[in-house]
Chains A and B, each alone.
Chain A
Amino acid sequence: MTKTLRHPGVVRVTHWLTFIAFIALLVTGGEIVISHPRFYWGEVGNVNTKPLFVIPIPSSRDTVPTSYNYVMPDQNGWSRALHFEAAWVAVLAGLVYGIYGLWSGHFKNLIPERRDWNWRSYHARIAKYLRRVPPDPAEERSYNVLQRTAYVVVIFVLFPLMIWTGLAMSPSFTAAFPWTAALVGGRQSARTIHFFASGLLLLFLFVHVAMVALSGFRNRMRAMITGYTRDSEESR
């Protein structure tokens, strides 16, 4: 039984920091949404404006019309403070991870291989999942095209989009960089995109954890905590 290094230290530390920050951002973000569970498109939107959609939940503000006759407790104070502190943790961890990824060539293991840049590869891999074909040895050491695509979308699209749309809601940041709000259609559009992108990240979290569980929870967790896998368990 040999041990192989699966995840380097920088990846492990930034992975878990991002995980903790993401959970904090998710909980506090939901808490903040409760104070105004209405979404709009464009620069402005309020209870006197037609919403794009409304989440049918009670609100923590009595000024927001809902179909419930009670008001939730206001948790925005600490939620906002924790939201931004966790955002800093995620951004700084992301920065370290990004620099490391470029410097070490780590991203080469994540960007889909050139020969897989076609629909046939995706189709073939989905078919393999559906037929529950066990992963071939090459895939065990690395990631298949669907996994790579998911990671690339999360790392290079969704996380940057969350940071961008988050900053596009900041009155101070948009004073310095007005185009960050203008390019996404305005402050309220940024808020709506921020909400949907967080939903996609949550979806990724569910699938990610499910796949870890299906492919051998203990071994995968050991790999992301200690860095090493046990080869004898790899093919479980």
Chain B
Amino acid sequence: MNPITRRKLIYGGAAAVAGVGGLAVAHRLAKRYGLIPPDSAGIYGPGETLTYACQRLLTVHTPAREFPRSMISKNPFANAVAPPNDAFKRLQAGGFRDWRLVVDGTVARPMSLSLADLKALGLRSQITEVACEEGWSYIAEWIGTPLSSVLREAGVLPQARYIVYTSSEEGMWGSIDMQDAGDPHSLLTMGMNDGDLPVPFGGPLRLRLPRQLGYKSIKYVNRITATDNIKKFGKGLGSVDPEYGYSWYAGM
């Protein structure tokens, strides 16, 4: 048979203590270095946390993949969006001259920027891929102002831990951590493939986050809010996506 010997008991006990102790230390360290996502509760929390923490550590210094101009997709696909509301239609009729991006929260200088104001902060162009969680993808050139330029202009306070962004589309909002916010590829996008960003692709203003799946790149962004407490927003899960079962962190 298989008697439980004293040696087995000691080894097993030591392994269990080491395991529990290791988990407790790992959890404390993860918490201190911001490696726990806002939607870490529930049965999928361990998986979400492991993925987020590991990918955060891997991507500290790595921007998204960029592609040569020859790889730009001839026929990019614009996913379905809800029909625009009346306010959006009025702004569209005016050529989006009155579109405003409100910047507020834990910033030294809250501001309201027109598209021209945004462009004046400096444009950047990058050829990156949109990868949808469903499986499809396309590559396009995106032209816009890095989110980090806007945050610098507004003077984000050091206690800020997340940047919340909101769409003119009802109920659409998300957030990213400061590492993503500081990535030069996190682009407040106004142009696509040498033209204005078309409305079906998120025009006039879309926050393109190429290190995450497409659903994080919310269309029609009209407000960004720096915060030290993500729990105050919505149901406290970091974005609207977890309310539908989708992960807050979509780097995977």
Interface of A toward B, CB cutoff 8 Å: 3, 32-33, 35-36, 38, 43-49, 61-63, 76-78, 80-82, 84-88, 169-178, 181, 187-188, 191, 227-228
Contacts and interface: CB of A to CB of B under 8 A. Distances in A.
Contacts, number: 131
B203 to A, nearest CB: 19
Interface stretch (B57-65, B82-90, B160-168): B57-65
Contacts of A43: 67, 71, 129, 137, 139
Closest CB pairs A-B (n = 10) = A77-B245, A85-B47, A172-B251, A48-B75, A46-B136, A81-B44, A36-B135, A46-B77, A35-B134, A176-B58
Nearest to A77: B245
A217 B247 CA distance: 41
Contacts of A169: 131
A174 B213 CA distance: 12
A82 B252 CA distance: 13
Nearest to A3: B1
B171 to A, nearest CB: 16
Interface of B: 1-2, 43-44, 46-48, 50-51, 55, 58-59, 62-65, 67, 71, 73, 75-77, 79-80, 129, 131-139, 210-213, 244-247, 251-252
B46 A85 contact: yes
A171 B77 contact: no
A21 B244 CA distance: 23
Contacts of B79: 63
A228 B1 CA distance: 9
A38 B132 CA distance: 13
Given A47-B136, A81-B47, 5 more contacts: A44-B137, A44-B138, A85-B43, A85-B48, A175-B211
B44 A170 contact: no
A52 to B, nearest CB: 13
Contacts of B247: 80-81, 84
Nearest to A59: B134
17 contacts: A32-B135, A36-B134, A38-B136, A43-B67, A44-B129, A46-B132, A48-B77, A81-B47, A81-B247, A84-B47, A87-B47, A170-B251, A171-B210, A171-B212, A172-B212, A173-B251, A188-B137
Given A43-B71, A44-B139, A171 B129 contact: yes
B133 to A, nearest CB: 6
A85 B44 contact: yes
